Amino acid sequence: MAAKDFVKAQSDNLPNVDSFMLMEFIRSNDCFNAAEIRGVKAQSLNEKNIKRKNTCEKPMPSLNASLTRFAKFMNESDQSSSKFIAELQIRLKKAEGLFEEFNIIQSQIELLDTESDYSEDRESFENSYFDVISSGGW
């Protein structure tokens, strides 16, 4: 039984198919299109990297605040007291870890976001760090 509007395919009534039409069909049809070609995996990886980068950036204000507190201690303390010397030694040991922690976190951020330039962030922290630490007796 044939439908009323059915026309049997013959060589003279087939549509013209060009390479562009064929490529569009292959590109848009999931049966023929791998996830790699559509960019699904790359997009998913990029979204994960953005989340990881945001997670890495969370401790940065805390590191900067710690450095600021050390500078405040240096500026506002009576540097001639014995208590100051004892506290300075403890604070300097703690401050050593700030630079290492910054380097680790900043390196992770730079690996996750290769399109941005973080050299100014790194330089700014390093300059502040060494300025504050050198005023602490190193």
Output the tens digit of pLDDT for each of the chain's 138 residues.
Answer: 567 888 888 888 888 888 888 778 777 776 666 655 556 666 666 777 778 888 878 888 888 899 899 888 888 888 888 888 888 888 888 888 888 898 888 888 888 888 888 889 999 999 999 988 887 643
Listed residue (68, 46, 55) closest to 113, CA to CA: 46
End-to-end Cα separation, the chain, in angstroms: 96
Question: What is the per-residue pLDDT for 138?
Answer: 39
Question: What is the per-residue pLDDT for 40?
Answer: 60
